[in-house]
């Protein structure tokens, strides 16, 4: 079973968040899991992964959906 990496980007400057999140995702091994915590819906990450990696490259599951905090579980396949 793969370890879950937790990343809370709420304290990160908004202009730096996307790069931080994508870097964490790229650092995952196949089967690796990223639990992401943000202060807005991270749908842009979902669409970016889908466009650049394909539908079968990851799973994206909401654990919490606002209104102040969103948490998603992203598993790299």
Name all domains of the chain by residue range, CATH numbers in brackets.
4-76 (3.30.110.40)
pLDDT in tens, 26-68: 999 999 999 999 999 999 999 999 999 998 999 999 999 999 9
Task: Determine the pLDDT at residue 1.
Answer: 58
For every residue of 38-69, which 3-state class applies, written as one string? Answer: ECCCCHHHHHHHHHHHCHHHEEEEEEEECCCC
Task: Determine the pLDDT at residue 3.
Answer: 84
Average confidence (pLDDT) over 1-28: 93
Tokens of 3: 């370890």
Task: Determine the pLDDT at residue 2.
Answer: 72
């Amino acid at each position: 079973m793969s370890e879950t990496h937790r990343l809370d980007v709420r304290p990160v400057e908004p202009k730096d968040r996307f790069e931080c999140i994508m870097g964490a995702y790229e650092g995952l091994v196949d089967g690796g899991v990223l639990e992401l915590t943000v202060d807005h819906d991270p749908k842009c990450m979902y669409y970016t992964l889908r466009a650049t990696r394909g539908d079968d490259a990851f799973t994206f599951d909401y654990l919490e959906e606002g209104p102040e905090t969103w948490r998603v579980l992203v598993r790299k396949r």
